[in-house]
Amino acid sequence: MKHLREELWFKTPHRRDYVNITEQVEGLVRKSGVRNGLCLVNAMHITASVYINDAEQGLIEDYDDWLEKLAPHEPVSHYRHNRTGEDNGDAHLKRQIMGREVVVAITDGELDFGPWEQVYYAEFDGRRKKRVLVKIIGE
Amino acid sequence: MKHLREELWFKTPHRRDYVNITEQVEGLVRKSGVRNGLCLVNAMHITASVYINDAEQGLIEDYDDWLEKLAPHEPVSHYRHNRTGEDNGDAHLKRQIMGREVVVAITDGELDFGPWEQVYYAEFDGRRKKRVLVKIIGE
Amino acid sequence: MKHLREELWFKTPHRRDYVNITEQVEGLVRKSGVRNGLCLVNAMHITASVYINDAEQGLIEDYDDWLEKLAPHEPVSHYRHNRTGEDNGDAHLKRQIMGREVVVAITDGELDFGPWEQVYYAEFDGRRKKRVLVKIIGE
């Protein structure tokens, strides 16, 4: 069994940002030499998500509006978590909607994707350095 | 390491449909010959989900009402994504609630399920051909 | 390829409870002898979740309030599923928000976690015996 482990680092400019990381993950699959296996991509921080959906700017803005409606940032006093001195209570909730991780099949040395699948890093409490883990196993 | 990769194809009759695919996935586990490993089942399209829950018609209708409340189809002009000419903005949101994929343990050659676990394909923008990927690895 | 399969059992005191199971999962990773691989942790029941987030009591109460707002327990007659004689329709919905499973990388014989990642069992219909499955594969 082959395996590869790498981190991707981000420091996004805004509190919330959506970064297409598909090419970086594809590069790691090639680097791993795995022809058939599984590729796990997960946020290592608990106020961010990794998800798969469309690389379409209108949709990304729809997601952002919708998440802000389901778990608004303001008033920060609404969240008990923010009594710890944080202001990111909403980010912990948004991340549960969008998910922590994706698991993608590797077939013939490539991410085995449908026509529109793209991997995104979704940041809900940015402007500081945070990481994504890529773990690949297979042969 | 053994591995198997197959696609399941669907063309559902309605915009939204919920299809129990447990038996098809079980058949692929047997075909793979894997005794211990992992089975990934994911929608290959970004307006559909694969999830695990109950094969109970009332619950499926509850899910459908709830998703329509959290991310209504109408008015289609509500979603920026629909400016691309699509009318499926809501489907991209509903899919994030229900999830893209499930990963199921394989033990002794079978899906290692609790008593009520059933695998569903949830379609949120149907009436056309779409696919699910099943990838099995193990030994 | 090595593999390990174990169940964790719970009987929580309340309808809804949130139990940190990180140490138990870490113990199983060590027991497996796997140095590099994947660890699947999933609820075996369809009214419970396994998720990864912060071990902070305020946040857990925020999650509980938010889930109750998105899918209220009362009135139980609101859910068609409850016509089967159950009163847990809401629990099936809450579980979809928080997720069925997590997949965690194993690197150098340990759960490959960011600084705040903790594994939780979230119970939405407790006060009876229920199970979580841990399946580890790798080498």
Q: What's the pLDDT tens digit per position in C31-45?
A: 999 999 999 999 999
- Interaxial angle between packed helices A89-98 and C89-98, expressed in degrees from 0 to 180 and rounded to the nearest 10: 100
Which residue does chain C place closest to B67, by CA atoms? C93
Segments in chain B below pLDDT 70: none
Which residue does chain A place closest to B93, by CA atoms? A63
d(CA A10, CA A50): 13
B1–A1 C-beta distance less than 8 A: yes
Q: What are the pLDDT digits (tens) for A62-104?
A: 999 999 999 999 999 999 999 999 999 999 999 999 999 999 9
CATH of B2-138, one of 3.40.640.10, 2.60.120.460, 3.20.20.100, 1.10.240.10: 2.60.120.460
Domain ranges of chain B: 2-138
Q: Which residues of B75-88 are buried (b: 16+ CB within 10 A; e: fewer)?
A: eeebbbbbeeebbb
- Judge contact between C138 and C31, C-beta under 8 A: no
Tell me the residues of C at the A interface, defined by beta carbons under 8 Å apart. 1, 36-38, 51-54, 56-59, 61-63, 66, 70, 97-99, 102-105, 107, 112-117, 137-139
Residues of A in contact with B131 (CB under 8 A): 114
Q: What are the pLDDT digits (tens) for C47-86?
A: 999 999 999 999 999 999 999 999 999 999 999 999 999 9
pLDDT score recorded for residue C45: 98
pLDDT-above-70 percentage for chain A: 100
Residues of A in contact with C138 (CB under 8 A): 1, 3, 137
Which residue in the set B71, B99, B131 is minimally distant from A66, CB to CB? B71
A105–B44 C-beta distance less than 8 A: no
What would the mean pLDDT of C102-124 be, rounded to a whole number?
Answer: 98
pLDDT range class, residue A24, cuts 50, 70, 90: very high
pLDDT score recorded for residue C88: 98
B53–C95 C-beta distance less than 8 A: yes
Which residue in the set A51, A59, A102 is minimally distant from B81, CB to CB? A59
d(CA B104, CA C133): 10
